[in-house]
Structure 1
Amino acid sequence: MSRPEAKGSAASLPAGFDAPVFAEPWQAEAFAMTVALHDKGLFSWNEWADALSAEVKKPDAAADGHDYYEHWLAALEGLLASKGLAAKPDVDAMARAWERAAHATPHGKPILLENDPHAAN
């Protein structure tokens, strides 16, 4: 196939096909973290698929799927907690610490966990 033919075939792709896969950076990070943890052998793809499936089948899941990565993150947190790798209270405490650090960091500066005003010095 020549270059012009390849270019022409892209025009026949479904609408939104070339849209970004991730709407927010945290979604890409959650995706990458899941792949990395699987690659380290912390869970199998079947375990992951079961965890994600359970989350997206919950009655509060949006019919249009706009909350897919929220369910992705919940599935990852639940899977890690069930394996004793990261307890939910610990994950929640770390998320709050990063949030405080983000609010305490001047604009344009890197967000560092030590910027959390409640961090132990």
Structure 2
Amino acid sequence: MMDAAAEIATTALPGIPRDDDGPVFREPWEAQAFAMALALHGRGLFTWKEWAQALAEEIKRAQANGDPDTGETYYRHWLATLEGLISAKGVASPATLHRYRDAWDHAADRTPHGSPIELKPEDFAA
């Protein structure tokens, strides 16, 4: 059974991949991106109407750039929308988001498959 916030999100945003039990995720990061959006909405960073509009714009941009819209990239659009709103709202600059994305890439490259990825100070050294 999904919690109330997830139920509200899936009702407000009907495009979310789901089954009878609620949202479905192919990989853990998709669930984490979903949870981050729920948490930021819960803190009042954006309304679901604002989120839905930003997500729709992100998907349209991706389709214009050749995304086949098969559903497999849905949460990539979700994450891009989350990053865009975080930046637009002044929570983190695009440069900060880029810095952390690069650090995560570096940390992932040095982490054996199946092990937890941990950021270390050296991951931020360019």
Bigger RCO (CA 8 Å, 6+ sep):
2
Q: Assess, with a 3 A threshold, how the Cα gap between structure 1 residues 21 and 97 changes in structure 2: closer, same or farther.
A: same
Tell me if 1:83 matches 2:89.
Answer: yes
Matches within 5 A, 1:1-121: 17=19, 21-58=24-61, 59-60=64-65, 61-106=67-112, 109-114=115-120, 117-119=122-124
Q: In the alignment, is the contact (CA less than 8 A) between 2:100 and 2:124 conserved in 1?
A: no
Q: Assess, with a 3 A threshold, how the Cα gap between structure 1 residues 106 and 79 changes in structure 2: closer, same or farther.
A: same
Per the TM alignment, residue 97 of structure 1 is displaced from its structure 2 partner at its CA by: 0.8
Q: Assess, with a 3 A threshold, how the Cα gap between structure 1 residues 105 and 67 changes in structure 2: closer, same or farther.
A: closer
Q: Assess, with a 3 A threshold, how the Cα gap between structure 1 residues 17 and 48 changes in structure 2: closer, same or farther.
A: closer
For residue 8 of structure 1, what is the aligned residue in structure 2?
Answer: none
Per the TM alignment, residue 33 of structure 1 is displaced from its structure 2 partner at its CA by: 0.3
TM-score (norm. length: structure 2): 0.69
Moved over 6 A (4+): none
- Matched residues, number: 103
Root-mean-square deviation (Å): 2.4
For residue 12 of structure 1, what is the aligned residue in structure 2?
Answer: none
TM-score (norm. length: structure 1): 0.71
Per the TM alignment, residue 98 of structure 1 is displaced from its structure 2 partner at its CA by: 1.7
1:52-80 Cα shifts (integer Å, max 9, x gaps): 01111221332322211111111111111
Q: Which structure has the larger Rg over C-alpha atoms? A: 1
* Gap runs ≥5 in structure 2: 1-17
Take 2:75 and 2:47, find their aligned partners in 1: how far apart are those partners?
19
Identity %: 50
Q: Assess, with a 3 A threshold, how the Cα gap between structure 1 residues 64 and 110 changes in structure 2: closer, same or farther.
A: closer
